[in-house]
């Protein structure tokens, strides 16, 4: 009796969530990518999953409209990565199907980082100047971002029981991996000032305020709210390019590297599971290395 691909897909998604510890969001994405492939190819059996069906699907994806004319290769790769992971799952189960190694990813250009200058970063961090609870909260958010390199989802999930007598705390990131992040003196002070002014008993570290709090089902600040907050202070600071929480995370990483931190340490601080993800920052430090070379190399020959 032939195995049913729809049933196997469900088992694969359960495997990702339970045994591999993938986040709910990741599982949802894999489900969407695989469902689209199965709907397009109309393949119902693992043995019918062929290179030809994958090739036709890739052509279909490439012809989908996108911001630059067609779907970006990077986006197309997400579909291929999910399909390849599914095929590896089938092989692990001893189910005959297409060899996952037959699926190659499309070549993509080097990733461009959205970066702001040190002066722009300084103006951004100095945005919240008042003594109101919302100003203190916003200052604490910005300082915490730059001190720790947290992802916006990680920051929003924090509770107020952070031990400020220590310079570090643990955070649970992607894939439920726990890592240690560190608090700068500025971040510790900003969080303390904010918490000292709080008069509520909510568990969340960062909460909604004003009209947003009145209409919210949960007081915890959402990632979207934090993104709007960062955008507001970037505009106030006169920064014309797009600034997001992830841009501050980039600033955190490049600041460490430009001041002499090694790539492996930055990888650990960012919570990257693969060093290749962190290597995207190395070209940012090339200019810094060029300055070092110019300053220190060949001095004896002058």
Catalytic residue among 72, 123, 189, 246: 246
Catalytic residue among 137, 151, 220, 250: 151
Catalytic residue among 36, 73, 88, 174: 174
Catalytic-residue membership of 37 = no
Catalytic-residue membership of 194 = no
Catalytic residue among 22, 188, 250, 272: 272
Catalytic residue among 9, 22, 249, 250: 249
3-state secondary structure of 152: helix
Among the listed residues 74, 110, 123, the one whose alpha carbon sits nearest the alpha carbon of residue 251:
123
Give the span between the Cα atoms of 226 and 152, in whole angstroms. Answer: 7
Catalytic-residue membership of 297 = no
Phi, psi of 66 (to 5 degrees): -145, -175
Give the span between the Cα atoms of 278 and 272, in whole angstroms. Answer: 7
| Percent helix, strand and coil across the chain, each to the nearest 5 | 60, 5, 35
DSSP 84: H
Phi, psi of 224 (to 5 degrees): -65, -40
Catalytic-residue membership of 151 = yes
Give the span between the Cα atoms of 142 and 14, in whole angstroms. Answer: 37
Catalytic-residue membership of 30 = no
Catalytic-residue membership of 249 = yes
**Which residues are annotated as catalytic?**
151, 174, 246, 249, 272, 281
């Amino acid at each position: 009796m032939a195995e049913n691909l729809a049933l196997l897909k469900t088992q694969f998604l359960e495997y990702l969530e339970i045994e591999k510890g993938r986040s709910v969001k990741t599982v949802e994405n894999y489900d969407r990518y695989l469902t689209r492939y199965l709907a397009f190819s109309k393949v119902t059996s693992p043995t019918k999953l062929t290179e030809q069906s994958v090739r036709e699907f890739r052509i279909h994806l490439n012809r989908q409209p996108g911001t630059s004319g067609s779907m970006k290769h990077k986006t197309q790769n997400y579909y291929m990565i999910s399909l390849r992971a599914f095929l590896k799952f089938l092989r692990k189960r001893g189910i005959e199907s297409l060899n996952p190694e037959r699926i190659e990813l499309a070549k993509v250009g080097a990733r461009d980082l959205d970066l702001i200058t040190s002066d722009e970063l300084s103006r951004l961090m100095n945005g919240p100047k008042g003594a109101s609870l919302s100003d203190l909260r916003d200052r604490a958010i910005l300082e915490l971002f730059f001190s720790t390199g947290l992802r916006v989802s990680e920051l929003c999930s924090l509770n107020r029981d952070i031990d400020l007598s220590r310079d570090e705390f643990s955070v649970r990131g992607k894939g439920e991996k726990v890592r240690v992040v560190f608090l700068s003196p500025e971040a510790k002070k900003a969080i303390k000032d904010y918490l000292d002014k709080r008069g509520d008993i909510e568990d969340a570290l960062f909460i909604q305020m004003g009209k947003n709090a009145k209409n919210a089902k949960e007081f915890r600040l959402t990632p979207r709210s934090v993104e709007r907050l960062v955008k507001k202070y970037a505009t106030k600071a006169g920064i014309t390019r797009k600034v997001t929480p992830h841009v501050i995370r980039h600033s955190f990483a490049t600041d460490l590297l430009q001041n002499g931190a090694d790539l492996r340490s930055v990888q650990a601080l960012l919570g990257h599971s693969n060093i290749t993800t962190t290597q995207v920052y190395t070209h940012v430090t090339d200019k810094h290395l060029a300055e070092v070379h110019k300053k220190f190399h060949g001095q004896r020959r002058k």
